[in-house]
A and B are shown apart, each in its own frame.
Chain A
C-alpha cells in the first residue's frame, strides 16, 4: 500500500537555525498538509496546500514557516529561525480529495530545538 514518507525521522537543531522537513506524499493525491504535535498534546493543523499554493493556514503558521512543492513529488516545510517552542513532532499528510477521503499521515519528523 502506498504511504507518505518523511525525512529525517529526527532533527536536532540550535535555536535560530533554519530547518527543512521533507515529505513525499502519495503519488496520486492532490491535497497536502502539515500538522504538528507537541509532546503530550493534541495534533494541530499548520497548513494545507493544493494546486501549488497554500489553501489554508492556521495562526501557528506565521512568517517563520513556509512550504514548497519544488518538483512535483516532494513537499517541504521550512522553519526559518527555530525557537525552543517549535520542538514537536511534525506530520505531513496527503489526501485524494479535500473533504471525505481519509488523510494519510507520514510517521513524522521529531524536531528538537536546543
Chain B
C-alpha cells in the first residue's frame, strides 16, 4: 500500500530561524514528489514538484530535496517568517497513474512560527 509519512507532526520555531521538515514514502512506482503549503482553512498551495531525476529544487526561501534511492524528501525553510505558519504537506505521485488522481498525501507537518 502506498504511504507517505511526515515528521515531525508539529514544530514550533522562532521567527528568523531555519527548519527542515521530513518526508518518507513507500510509493511505487514513483513519478514525482510535491510539497504543498496549507494555511488554516484554505486550500493547499504548490511549493515544488520534483521528478525522479531532480534532487533539489528551490522556491524562494523553500528548498526541497529528494533522495529517490532512500525514498526520502526534505523541505528546508530559511529565515522563517510569521507567514510561514501553516501545514506543509508532502505528496507523492505513482507513475502507473502519474497524474493528480494517483497522488498519495501525507498528514502534514504543522509549523508554528513565534515572534
Q: How distant is B106 from chain A, measured CB to nearest CB, in Å?
A: 7
Pair A106/B99 contact, Cβ less than 8 Å: no
Pair A102/B108 contact, Cβ less than 8 Å: no
Chain B residues near A (Cβ < 8 Å): 31-32, 34, 41-46, 49, 51, 89, 91, 93, 97-103, 105-108
Interface size on A, residues (CB 8 A): 25
Pair B99/A107 contact, Cβ less than 8 Å: no
> Nearest CB to that of A105 among chain B residues?
B43
A100 within 8 A of B: yes
Interface string of A46-61 (1 = CB under 8 A from B): 0110000001100000
Q: Contacts of B99 on A, CB cut-off 8 Å? A: 31, 48, 55-56, 98-99
Interface string of A81-105 (1 = CB under 8 A from B): 0000000000101010011101111
Given contacts A98-B100, A103-B100, contact A44 B46 (CB under 8 A): no
Q: Contacts of A28 on B, CB cut-off 8 Å? A: none
Given contacts A105-B45, A107-B41, A107-B42, contact A43 B100 (CB under 8 A): no
Pair A45/B103 contact, Cβ less than 8 Å: yes
The one of A41, A48, A91, A100 in contact with B43, judged by C-beta atoms closer than 8 angstroms, is: A91
A67 to B31, CA, bound (A): 27
Given contacts A105-B44, A107-B41, contact A43 B105 (CB under 8 A): yes
A55 to B103, CA, bound (A): 14
Give 10 nearest A-B pairs by CB, closest first: A105-B43, A102-B46, A98-B99, A56-B101, A48-B101, A43-B105, A99-B98, A42-B105, A42-B107, A107-B43
10 A-B pairs with C-beta separation under 8 A: A4-B43, A31-B99, A43-B91, A47-B101, A48-B99, A56-B99, A98-B98, A103-B44, A104-B46, A108-B42
> Nearest CB to that of A44 among chain B residues?
B105
Q: Contacts of A42 on B, CB cut-off 8 Å? A: 89, 105-108
